[in-house]
C-alpha cells in the first residue's frame, strides 16, 4: 500500500533520492515468511520506514544531498540502520535533505527541493524535509531524521507530524555522516507520539562504536505514556516569555496558548520560567556548527573521499604555482560542494583561525554554557517547557533562498536544545485557516524523554 502511494504521489513531492521497490518488497516478504513460520518477530516487523540520506546504508547510495557524495555507497550500515534491520523494519528508501544537513528548507539539496504535501508550493522544512514529507504523504509511517539545530523538529512542524530530537548521547551516531559532531542527533519522525516512542525504543542505547553515546539504561518509552496527570503523577509545565518575539506569527502564539490551556485543564501546574539567552543562541550556533563542519568536511577533497574533478588545470592566475594535488582538491571541492556548504566552511575556517578563535569560537562556547545554565535553572522549577517550534508555518519555496540570514533566524526556537544537549519534540497542534500545520515544541531535561513523550501524548 505504501509503495502504491509512493508511485502515485512521489512525482509531485520528490521525497526520495533513492529507492528500490524490489528490495523493499523482498524485505517485506521475508518478514511475512518469518511470521507464517512462527519465528520470533522484531518490534518493527514489517513496518515501512524512510531514512534520511545522511545515514549510511551498506551498498546503497548515501549522498547527503550532495554532489560530493553522489556516487558513495558505504561498505557498512549505521548503527541505527542495523538496529532497524534487526527489529524487522522495511526500508522504503533514502530521502532528501539539505546538503550535509545545512539548511531549513531542503532547497540546498543538490538533487532539487522536496515539496510540502500540504501545499506543493511550500517547503517541507529542513534539513530532514524528505523524511517529514514522506511521513506526511503516507509513504511510510516512520522516518529517521537528524537534528543539529532543529532539522527534525522544524520539518515535523511544517508537515504536521511528530518529530523528536533525543538528548545528546541517547542514540548512536555511528554511520551518521557528521555535520557538527557536538550537536548532531538522530531521531524519530512519525504520525503519533506512541510511534515516536516505539522507534526510540529500537534505536536508543549505548554503542561501543560511538564514544559520545552514553551508557545509560534505555527505559521503555511506551510505558506510562498515557498516564493522566494526578496526585501521584503531577506535571509542571513552563512557559517562556522570551519566546514572544516580534517575529512570532500570531497563529503560532495562539496555538502555544491553547496548549497551555489544555495542560491547565488536564491538571498540570503552569509556571513562568526564563531563558534569557535564547536570542543569542542563533549567533552562538552559527559559529559552533560551521566550525565543526569546516573540520568534519575537510576529508572530502577527491583523494580518498568524495567527488574528484575531471579537470584541475590552473583556473586562475597564480594557480600554476600550486601542486597538481592541491589543484585537484580545489577543483573537486569547488565542484562537489554547493553554495551553503561553502559558506559554512569559510565561516568556520575563519572563526577557528589563529587570532580569531578567542573572539568567535571560544566566545560562542561561553554562550553555549549560559544557555545550558538557563535550562538547568528552568528545569529546577518545571518538568517540561512548552513553546513554538518555528516562528511561522511553512514558507514558500524560494522565499528565503536569497537571504541566508532570514533562513538562519527561523531556527531561533530549536537551536538552544542542541546547544544544551536536551531533548526536544515537535507536535502537530492545529492548522491555519489555509490548512497549514502548526507545531508546538516541548523541551525536557537531559535523558528525560519519558516525561517529554508523556507530556506530548497529553496534547494529542
Catalytic residues: 52, 127, 151
Min separation Cβ 189 and ligand GLN, Å: 13
Which of 17, 90, 91, 101 binds ligand GLN (CB under 6 A)? It is 101
Give the number of residues in contact with ligand GLN, rule: CB under 6 A: 13
Positions in 153-212 near ligand GLN (CB under 6 A): 179
Print the binding letters for residues 395-434 with ligand GLN: x by CB under 6 A, - otherwise: ----------------x-----------------------
Report yes or no: 459 and 389 within 8 Å, Cβ to Cβ: no
Which triple of cell numbers denotes residue 111?
Answer: 538533487
Min separation Cβ 263 and ligand GLN, Å: 27
Instruction: Closer to ligand GLN by CB, 312 or 408: give it.
Output: 408
The DSSP bridge pattern shows strands 269-272 and 236-239 to be: parallel
Using the contact rule CB under 6 A, the part of the chain among 146-154, 167-175, 306-314, 353-361 near ligand GLN is: 146-154
Positions in 71-90 near ligand GLN (CB under 6 A): none
Using the contact rule CB under 6 A, the part of the chain among 144-152, 243-251, 316-324, 450-458 near ligand GLN is: 144-152
Min separation Cβ 103 and ligand GLN, Å: 5
Min separation Cβ 36 and ligand GLN, Å: 41
Using the contact rule CB under 6 A, the part of the chain among 11-19, 141-149, 248-256, 271-279 near ligand GLN is: 141-149
433 contact partners, CB below 8 Å, separation of at least 6: none
Q: Where are the beta strands (DSSP E) in 276-418?
A: 384-388
The DSSP bridge pattern shows strands 142-147 and 48-52 to be: parallel
Instruction: Closer to ligand GLN by CB, 102 or 252: give it.
Output: 102
Instruction: Closer to ligand GLN by CB, 65 or 88: give it.
Output: 65
147 binds ligand GLN (CB under 6 A): yes
**Residue whose Cβ sits closest to ligand GLN:** 151
Report yes or no: 164 and 172 within 8 Å, Cβ to Cβ: no
User: Measured between alpha carbons, how far is 438 from 432 in angstroms, rounded to an integer?
Assistant: 7
Using the contact rule CB under 6 A, the part of the chain among 8-16, 44-52, 57-65, 96-104 near ligand GLN is: 96-104
288 contact partners, CB below 8 Å, separation of at least 6: 180, 182, 183, 361, 364, 365, 368, 419
Dihedral sign from CA coordinates of 164, 168, 169, 172: positive
Which of 13, 49, 81, 102 binds ligand GLN (CB under 6 A)? It is 102
390 contact partners, CB below 8 Å, separation of at least 6: 125, 154, 157, 158, 252, 410, 413, 414, 439
66 binds ligand GLN (CB under 6 A): no
Strands ordered across the beta sheet of 236-239: 16-18, 90-95, 48-52, 142-147, 185-190, 162-165, 424-431, 437-444, 384-388, 236-239, 269-272
Direct distance between the N- and C-terminal alpha carbons of the chain, in angstroms, rounded to an integer: 26
User: Measured between alpha carbons, how far is 122 from 65 in angstroms, rounded to an integer?
Assistant: 19
Phi, psi torsion values for 200, nearest 5 degrees: -65, -40
Which of 48, 103, 160, 424 binds ligand GLN (CB under 6 A)? It is 103
Which of 63, 104, 389, 426 binds ligand GLN (CB under 6 A)? It is 104
Instruction: Closer to ligand GLN by CB, 139 or 179: give it.
Output: 179
Residues of this chain that interact with ligand GLN (CB under 6 A) are: 101-104, 127, 147-151, 179, 289, 411
Amino acid at each position: 500500500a505504501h509503495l502504491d502511494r509512493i508511485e502515485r504521489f512521489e512525482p509531485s513531492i520528490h521525497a526520495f533520492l533513492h529507492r528500490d521497490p524490489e528490495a523493499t518488497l523482498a524485505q517485506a516478504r521475508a518478514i511475512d515468511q518469518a511470521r507464517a513460520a512462527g519465528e520470533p518477530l522484531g518490534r518493527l516487523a514489517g513496518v515501512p520506514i524512510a531514512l534520511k540520506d545522511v545515514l549510511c546504508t551498506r551498498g546503497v547510495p548515501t549522498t547527503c544531498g550532495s554532489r560530493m557524495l553522489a556516487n558513495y555507497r558505504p561498505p557498512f550500515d549505521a548503527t541505527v540502520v542495523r538496529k532497524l534491520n534487526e527489529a524487522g523494519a522495511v526500508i522504503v528508501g533514502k530521502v532528501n535533505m539539505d546538503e550535509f544537513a545545512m539548511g531549513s528548507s531542503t532547497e540546498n539539496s543538490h538533487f532539487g527541493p522536496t515539496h510540502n504535501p500540504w501545499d506543493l508550493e511550500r517547503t517541507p522544512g529542513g534539513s530532514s524535509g524528505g523524511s517529514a514529507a514522506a511521513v506526511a504523504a503516507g509513504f511510510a509511517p516512520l522516518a529517521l531524521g537528524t537534528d543539529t539545530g532543529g532539522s527534525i523538529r522544524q520539518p515535523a512542524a511544517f508537515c504536521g507530524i511528530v518529530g523528536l530530537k533525543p538528548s545528546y548521547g541517547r542514540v548512536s551516531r555511528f554511520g551518521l555522516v557528521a555535520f557538527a559532531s557536538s550537536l548532531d542527533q538522530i531521531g524519530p519522525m512519525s504520525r503519533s507520539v506512541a510511534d515516536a516512542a516505539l522507534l526510540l525504543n529500537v534505536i536508543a542505547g549505548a554503542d561501543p562504536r560511538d564514544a559520545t553515546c552514553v551508557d545509560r539504561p534505555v527505559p521503555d518509552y511506551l510505558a506510562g505514556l498515557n498516564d493522566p496527570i494526578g496526585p501521584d503523577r503531577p506535571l509542571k509545565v513552563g512557559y517562556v516569555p522570551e519566546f514572544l518575539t516580534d517575529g512570532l506569527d500570531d497563529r503560532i502564539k495562539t496555538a502555544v496558548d491553547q496548549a497551555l490551556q489544555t495542560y491547565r485543564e488536564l491538571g498540570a501546574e503552569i509556571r513562568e520560567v526564563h531563558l534569557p539567552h535564547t536570542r543569542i543562541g542563533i549567533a552562538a550556533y552559527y559559529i559552533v556548527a560551521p566550525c565543526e563542519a569546516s573540520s568534519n568536511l575537510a576529508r572530502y577533497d577527491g583523494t580518498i573521499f568524495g567527488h574528484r574533478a575531471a579537470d584541475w588545470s590552473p583556473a586562475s592566475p597564480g594557480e600554476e604555482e600550486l601542486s597538481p594535488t592541491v589543484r585537484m582538491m580545489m577543483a573537486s571541492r569547488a565542484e562537489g560542494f554547493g553554495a551553503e556548504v561553502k559558506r559554512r566552511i569559510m565561516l568556520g575556517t575563519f572563526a577557528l583561525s589563529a587570532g580569531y578563535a578567542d573572539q568567535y569560537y571560544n566566545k560562542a562556547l561561553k554562550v553555549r554554557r549560559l544557555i545550558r545554565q538557563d535550562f538547568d535553572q528552568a528545569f529546577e522549577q518545571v518538568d517540561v517547557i512548552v513553546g513554538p517550534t518555528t516562528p511561522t508555518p511553512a514558507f514558500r519555496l524560494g522565499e528565503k533562498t536569497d537571504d541566508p540570514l532570514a533562513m538562519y533566524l527561523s531556527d531561533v526556537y530549536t537551536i538552544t536544545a542542541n546547544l544544551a544537549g536536551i531533548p526536544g519534540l515537535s507536535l502537530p497542534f492545529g492548522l491555519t485557516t489555509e490548512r497549514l500545520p502548526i507545531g508546538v515544541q516541548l523541551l525536557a531535561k537531559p535523558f528525560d524523554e519519558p516525561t517529554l513523550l508523556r507530556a506530548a501524548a497529553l496534547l494529542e
